[in-house]
Amino acid sequence: MCPGADNTPNGQANGHPNGNNFHPHDGYTAIETRQNPHPSTRNPYGHNVGVTDFLSNVSRFKIIESTLREGEQFANAFFDTEKKIEIAKALDDFGVDYIELTSPCASEQSRLDCEAICKLGLKAKILTHIRCHMDDARIAVETGVDGVDVVIGTSSYLREHSHGKDMTYITNTAIEVINFVKSKGIEVRFSSEDSFRSDLVDLLSIYSAVDQVGVHRVGIADTVGCASPRQVYELVRVLRGVVHCDIETHFHNDTGCAIANAYCALEAGATHIDTSVLGIGERNGITPLGGLMARMMVQAPDYVKSKYKLEKLKDLEDLVAGAVEVNIPFNNYITGFCAFTHKAGIHAKAILNNPSTYEIINPADFGMTRYVHFASRLTGWNAIKSRAQQLKIEMTDEQYKQCTAKIKALADIRPIAIDDADSIIRAFHNNIKLGTDKPLLDLTEDEKAQLAQKEKELAEEAQANGTVSA
C-alpha cells in the first residue's frame, strides 16, 4: 500500500543540520523549491480500502537493532570494545528499542564487551543472542543484559545436519531455558531458525508450547532469505492466531525481500523487526535500518518522526561503514548520494514546482538535501533557470532556453561539470549585457568543431519543429 504525499510542505533542506559538511557532488546543486503541498491521498488499490486492520502493527512497531550481533557476522566486520561502545551509543541516540549483542559464549572478549555495554546505562534494552542450551543461558544472565534471545534450528536441514536434535528435545530444552531466564527477572525470546523451511505443524506446536510458559516473544527467522512477502504475511497471520506473546521477525536479504518482508510481517501482526545498519550481516545481511525507516516513513510518518532521530541516520551509517571499511552505496536508501538527486528535465521542472511530484520522502526529515543535476545533456531550461537565479543571474525565459541549448550541446560531445555549466551561464549572460559574442567556454579545437556542428544541427532542428526542452 503506497499512500500519496504527506500534507506537510516537502521543502528544501539546507545542508546537514547535525554538523556534517554535506556538499553537493560535481554536476549537482541544492535547489530552492516553491512550497506547494500536495494533499494527502489513500491508495485506492489496497486490500480492504478504508478499513484499518486491527492486527497491523505498522504504526506501533519496535526495532531490535542487531548491528552488534548479526552485523558482527559480516565478512568484513571487526569491532573492538571501543568501537562497539561507540556504535551502541549511536544506536541508542537514534532511538532504537533494543540493541542485540553477540553471545557472551562466543569468546571471552564477547562476554567482556557484553558486560561493558550493559554498564553504559543506555535507554535501549540490551539483549544477547544465545543457543537454546542451559550452559549458554547461565552465562548470559550473569552479564547484566535486559533480555536473552534464544534460538535453535527447526528445519529438517538444520535438525539433520547442524545440531541433530528432534522436536521433542527442542521443545523440552526451550521450556527449560525459558523458565530459567524468566526466573532471573529478565526478558526472553524463543526463535526458530530457518522458519520458512520448517514444517508448519512443528513450528506452531513449539511456539504454542513456549507461549504457554510465558515467553515474552517468539521469533520467526528467514535464515536463508527464501521467503516472499506473501509467505511472510500468511505465516505471521497464522501465528498471530496461535500465540498471545509478541512476535519478532528476522529476515535475510539473499533474494532482495528483507525490507518488504519486514513490512508485510508488521501488517500481519508482528511487533518487532530485527535490523542492522546498512543491512550488514551473514552473507547478504538482513533488513537494513535505513531501508526500514524509508518504508515506514511513508506508511507511518508521525510515529517514525516522533520516535527516531532521523537526522542521525547518516552519521550512524557513516560510523558503521567506516568501521567495516565499506562505502555507502550510491543508491542507498535515504543517504546514498543519488537518493534525492533529479536529472531529467521533466523531473527537474516538476520538482521545482512541487517536490512531491517525484519524491515520496522529504529529505529534510532525514537532514538531507535534494539536488538537481543540471550539468548534463538531459537538463531542461527550468533547471538552468533555477541555477542561474542561484547565481543571481536574471534573464528572460527565452534566454534561459537559449542558454540551456548551449549547455546541452556541449554535454552531447563530452561530460561537463558544474563549473562548466556555471561558466556557460555567466558567459552567456555577459554576452547579452555587453552585446558581444565571446566564446562561452575554453575548448580544444576538436571540441570547437564538434560543438559548432552540434549547434548547427540543434538550430536546424529547433527551426523545423519550434520546440525547446522543458
From first to last of its 470 residues, what are the pLDDT tens digits of the chain? 343 333 333 433 333 333 343 444 444 444 444 444 444 445 555 554 444 578 899 999 999 999 999 999 999 999 999 999 999 999 999 999 999 999 999 999 999 999 999 999 999 999 999 999 999 999 999 999 999 999 998 888 788 888 878 889 999 999 999 999 999 999 999 999 889 999 999 999 999 999 999 999 999 999 999 999 999 999 999 999 999 999 999 999 999 999 999 999 999 999 999 999 999 999 999 999 999 999 999 999 999 999 999 999 999 999 999 999 999 998 999 998 888 888 787 887 887 788 888 889 999 999 998 877 777 788 888 888 888 888 789 999 999 888 888 888 888 888 888 888 888 888 889 898 888 888 888 888 888 888 788 778 777 777 777 655 55
- For the structural domain made of 62-323, what CATH number should be given? 3.20.20.70
- Radius of gyration over every alpha carbon of the chain, rounded to an integer in angstroms: 28
Backbone angles phi, psi at 21, to 5 degrees: -85, 100
Q: What is the pLDDT of residues 403-448, one digit of tens each?
A: 888 888 888 888 888 888 888 888 889 898 888 888 888 888 888 8
Q: Tell how strand 28-30 and strand 371-373 pair up.
A: antiparallel
Specify the pTM.
0.79
pLDDT, residue 423, reads 86
| Dist CA 194 CA 252 (whole Å) | 10
Q: What is the pLDDT of residues 292-330, one digit of tens each?
A: 999 999 999 999 999 999 999 999 999 999 999 999 998
| Dist CA 235 CA 383 (whole Å) | 49
Backbone angles phi, psi at 100, to 5 degrees: -100, 135
Q: Cell 526463535 maps to which residue? A: 191
- Which residues make up the CATH 3.20.20.70 domain(s) of the chain? 62-323
Residue 16: active-site member: no
CB 69 within 8 A of CB 277: no
* CA-closest candidate to residue 292, choices 255, 262, 330: 262
Q: How many CB atoms lie within 10 A of CB 77?
A: 20
Euclidean distance between the first and final Cα of the chain, in Å?
Answer: 32
Q: Given 252, 272, 347, 373, which residue is catalytic?
A: 347
Q: Which residues pair with 275 in a beta bridge?
A: 65
Cα atoms found within 13 Å of the Cα of residue 265, Cβ hemisphere only? 29
Backbone angles phi, psi at 130, to 5 degrees: -130, 165
pLDDT, residue 49, reads 44
